[in-house]
Amino acid sequence: MNASEPLQQRIQRLRDDINQHNQRYYQLDAPQIADADYDQLMRELETLEAEHPELITADSPTQRVGAAPLASFQQVLHQVPMLSLDNAFNDSEFEAFDKRVRDRADLTEDVTYLVEPKLDGLAISLRYEEGLLVCAATRGDGQRGENVTENVKTIGAIPLRLKGDTVPAVVEIRGEVFMPLQGFDQLNSAAIAAGEKPFANPRNAAAGSLRQLDSKITAKRPLAFYTYGLGVLDGMPLPSSQSDLFLLFAAWGLPVCDQISTAKGVQQCHEAYQSLADKRAKLPYEIDGVVYKVNSFRLQQSIGFVSRAPRWAIARKFPAQEKTTQVLSIDVQVGRTGSITPVARLAPVFVGGVTVTNVTLHNEDELHRKDVRIGDTVIVRRAGDVIPEIVAVVIEQRTAEAVPYQMPTLCPVCSSPLEKIEGEAVIRCSAGLYCQAQVKESVKHFASRKAMDVDGLGDKLVEQLVAKKLVQTPADLYSLTREQLLSLERMADKSADNLLQALEKSKSTTLPRFLYGLGIREVGEVTATSLAQHFGQLDALQQASAEVLEQVPDVGPIVAKHVVSFFQLAHNREVVNTLLSYGIHWPEVKALTKTQHALSDKVVVLTGTLSSMTRDQAKAALQDLGAKVTGSVSKKTDFLIAGEESGSKLTKAQSLGVTVLSEEAFVSLLQSNLDLTD
């Protein structure tokens, strides 16, 4: 952690970064960070939140799984959440996990674990009623997933009806859809022969195939499936162990991986891990580690869960894979905020299940620190399933022709001068939204789900609109005509009409979403919400000085400077005014004061099920009143709002003397200004 960075600001920065990487991994199937780097970010956040539990919020990445479902699919609410797994990276970390398991279960003897290969695919929940497959959904955010039933029905490995006489009334099967290596190679060969872009790796191929809107395309993809767990089970008792459950799966006709085993105690678990590591290269599918689960369901229940993962299971990742290759060239890419990123173009190398041809070098300082030169032989590492990195240069193989790379002084897209602000590592194009590269990225950001949420406006469509100069600022989206859209490649009447409807729908938004969509540097979702709540009106924010901005919670000098600079530029003000002239609007936001409401500045926790609103709606209402909504109860919690079926949080709140509000009392409080401290 940077010692000069305030704690809350660092935590929020970590959350914003992790959420962005989750979106690219889970939704876009286009990760941009190495697995090891992602794990490091998550670990730092987990450590900081463990040390400061009062700062944990319900929307922290540590409290959730993955990312929200794609808007193109109907959403499915998981009756039982689909949780993720914590990770171990070496023997000692697994041994620490085993000790925690035995301590929680109050055991002195060795624990028996079920050992499974960690498949590299997409998690799926299959709901069977009276033995018939009725719904299939992706993991999504763990609470809601994407309905991909019709696509899943095309996968031959998944039975449409379960076999046998022991089939329960309702059962939700959890498992992994993946693409075997042979099928992946054949799919890519066919794509290359047809002049199409091949998939980066089997996981992306599986995820992309399952998310096709046309199930006929999915049917042509070589997808497979292995089951690994249960969600819901009604109509029969739960077996005594995971291993017995797998026998039941097989009896029902569900595919079960043939590499599953049991191991008793730490030593046998280490041996099972090594055995799968040795087999990895020979398996017909990609795996990136081993999963350990306490075999006994009785023990699992006594050990319990944290909010995003079971305490009785852990994934042990395989170490990163490394290969050597040659740097063919180095060039730069321009990002949304004008950041100039050097990229090494490599001789193709297959590492970690992916053919790697490009590796980001992040910034000029990183480029010079690693001293990567054109013609160098470099070591490329790929950990897990995310993008690779250059670990080091093989200096012994450097030739005399390899000279240090010099960063350009002009933007490669618009030829504007490049500038480097003191204290920053990044070089930026000075042209702002006049640079075509920045226009494309800013429009993509403006239309993204967490900003204006323009359904159907994908990357390729944005690139066409910008290339044809139909869109040069985000405001130009709202001047598009049906005729202009129909002039684009692969744009049919219905698609054009749908996009125009989506643009019209997006005009009704919120001030935080609008501010986030403007793409002001360092202003993420949370900061945008804080700014909206503090100022209440866009005009007040636009006229605020840096000193006034720094009074907003979580806004420091750097963020304040970026906000002031953004609104000082005449071009930016013109874009904002044009957007408003097209009818973009939002509900009035009243600037908060500490005496405005009894919940202002209070720490509130939500638990249980609310009948009059969703948890997200309740959280939004609390935040509108200035409350701080967190995910766990502590001594610093002011109020616990308890819905139906409240669990351990209610018990803990009562033990700490925290004020507990029923849903009825909470709703009454929202509509009043009662002072609960009287």
Q: Are strands 112-119 and 321-334 parallel, antiparallel or unpaired?
A: unpaired
Q: Are strands 639-642 and 603-607 parallel, antiparallel or unpaired?
A: parallel
Choice among 118, 317, 440, 649 that is catalytic: 118
Provide the CA 355 distance to its chain's centre, in angstroms: 23
Q: What CA–CA distance (Å, rounded) separates 22 from 452?
A: 19
**Hey, what are 41's tokens?**
């970010």
* 494 included as an active-site residue: no
**Hey, what are 77's tokens?**
């609410």
Give the relative orientation of helices 615-624 and 525-535 as an angle to the nearest 10 degrees. 50
Residue whose C-alpha is closest to residue 272's, from 384, 383, 100, 116: 116
**3-class DSSP state for residue 619?**
helix
- Between the alpha carbon of residue 238 and those of residues 167, 310, 550, the distances in Å are 12, 18, 56
- Between the alpha carbon of residue 493 and those of residues 135, 465, 482, 489, 504, the distances in Å are 31, 17, 8, 12, 17
Provide the CA 14 distance to its chain's centre, in angstroms: 12
Q: Give the torsion sign (CA, 280, 285, 290, 295).
A: negative
Buried b / exposed e over 214-235, threshold 16 CB at 10 Å, is: eeeebbebbbbbbbbbbbbbee
Q: Which residues contact 76 (CB under 8 A, 6 or more apart)?
A: 125, 135, 137, 140, 144, 145, 146, 147
Give me the helices (H) in 569-644, please: 570-581, 615-624
Q: Which residues contact 57 (CB under 8 A, 6 or more apart)?
A: 63, 628, 629, 630, 631
Residue whose C-alpha is closest to residue 156's, from 213, 220, 217: 220
Q: What is the DSSP letter of 477?
A: G
Q: What CA–CA distance (Å, rounded) separates 478 from 507?
A: 9
Helices (H) and strands (E) in the chain, counts: 24, 22
**3-class DSSP state for residue 391?**
strand
- Amino acid 547 reads E
> In this structure, are residues 511 and 586 in contact, taking their beta carbons and an 8 Å threshold?
yes
**Hey, what are 179's tokens?**
């693409």
Residues noted as catalytic: 118
